Amino acid sequence: MTRVVLRIDFDDERYIGHGRIELLEYIDEFGSIAKAAKAMGMSYKRAWYLAESINSTFKEPVVTRQHGGKGGGSAGLTALGKTVVKEYRAMEAGVLKTYAKSLKTMEKALGPKKQFQA
């Protein structure tokens, strides 16, 4: 099943891509950066850093955090965070629909599935 993955490059240092959107969705779902990190198979530190990077991309926070104890506190998305996720997913779904014919043309030309052999 063909997927089209988007990366939106606002400029040479600020972007939103598939991994960042997935992290935001998990934070929204679990209310926790630690749990979102676990779901994505990444370290808490990496998820925290990513959340900070996404926050610093926009003029308002996308991820909010309440500091807690050893459990790491809770986290969630702001209205802006939810908008960014929604717009991204709408674009992704729209692209698949709009370019179904182009994708079909390419799919028809695909060879058998195999590992590349040098």
**Site residues for its own copies per CB under 8 A:** 1-11, 13-14, 16, 49, 52-53, 56-60, 80, 83-84, 87, 90-91, 94-95, 98-99, 102-103, 105-107, 109-118
> Which pairs from 40-45 meet CB under 8 Å and 24+ separation?
44/72
Q: Which residue number, 30 or 96, has a Cβ lying nearer to its own copies?
A: 96
Any long-range contacts for 85-88 (C-beta under 8 Å, 24+ apart)? 85/21, 85/24, 85/25, 85/28, 88/6, 88/8, 88/16, 88/21
d(CA 112, CA 91): 30
| Shortest Å distance, C-beta 112 to its own copies | 7
Name the minimum Å distance from CB 93 to its own copies: 11
Nearer to its own copies, 43 or 53 (CB): 53
Nearer to its own copies by Cβ, of 29 and 52: the residue is: 52
Distance of CA 83 to the CA centre of its chain: 13
Tell me the closest approach of the beta carbon of residue 69 to its own copies, in angstroms. 22
What CA–CA distance (Å, rounded) separates 73 from 31? 9
CB of 17 to its own copies, least distance (A): 8
